[in-house]
Structure 1
Amino acid sequence: MQSRDEIGQLAADFNDMTENLRGLIQRVGASAEHVAATSEQLTASAEQTSKATEQIAVTMQEVATGTDEQARTVEQASETVTGMSTRLQQIAASTEQVSATVKEASQIIAQGNQAIGTAITQMSSISDTQANYRADRSHSG
């Protein structure tokens, strides 16, 4: 009677472990999606910065064309630089956010690896227990 209770407990523990692994995999997937979304935002910010840099290059060329235009062009360049500065600050903030997300994902992955190691150990223990149970049953009878 006691061995049936042990098998039932073993099955319940195995089911709990399976649910824990499923939850861990879902959390890792959600973190990966968050990292991907943040990466897309960072890419969009980088493209905006690239466009702003191209605008600055055009503005510099206009400055060289004439003294009258220089005052207006310098003013435009100043506005562009201000916009670029704002965009760079946004990129810096996005980069920090990506870094934090990557750190969080790394921690979750480490936890997942640890959980997988634990699961492997538990599965090995279950296998050993089953082998011992079968051996006991074959000897008894």
Structure 2
Amino acid sequence: MEKDFVIEEVVKRPKLTKEERRKLRTIKRLINGEINGPRAARLLKVTTRQVRNLKRQVYNEGDLGIIHKNRFNKPINTYDISIRKELARIYRAEFKGVNFSKFAEEMHKRGFTQSRSTIYNILREQRIRSPQRKRNKTKKRK
């Protein structure tokens, strides 16, 4: 007789932020009858309707009902990590010492569609700085 091994998925429980813990404490006080709805709304600085919704979510989902449902979603307009790494690699290998505006122009010629400001943000995330313009020293008058 063969034994079937069941691998349990370990679900990592998300941590609540300080603000979410404060909301949860207030909603639990509301559920326990220590405070009423309007008082909870004033403490949380939301409307009584939102308090009712939060209370319902805590009843249905437990403590995690406080967490906003969009919290863990990656924005649709983010650039893929491979593009970010590729831009940083190209800059370090071929364009070291070139300012970001010139680098952005060269990347447009190579087919990258990111704007200058996006390339700037990507390179700054990688702790790469655009070199400062060097001015000629003015000669002193006699």
TM class by smaller structure: under 0.3
Structure ranking higher on relative contact order (CA contacts 8 Å, 6+ apart): 1
| Structure showing greater Rg | 1
Under a length normalisation based on structure 2, what TM-score does the superposition of the two structures give? 0.27
Query: Which structure features the higher share of helix residues?
Result: 1
Under a length normalisation based on structure 1, what TM-score does the superposition of the two structures give? 0.27
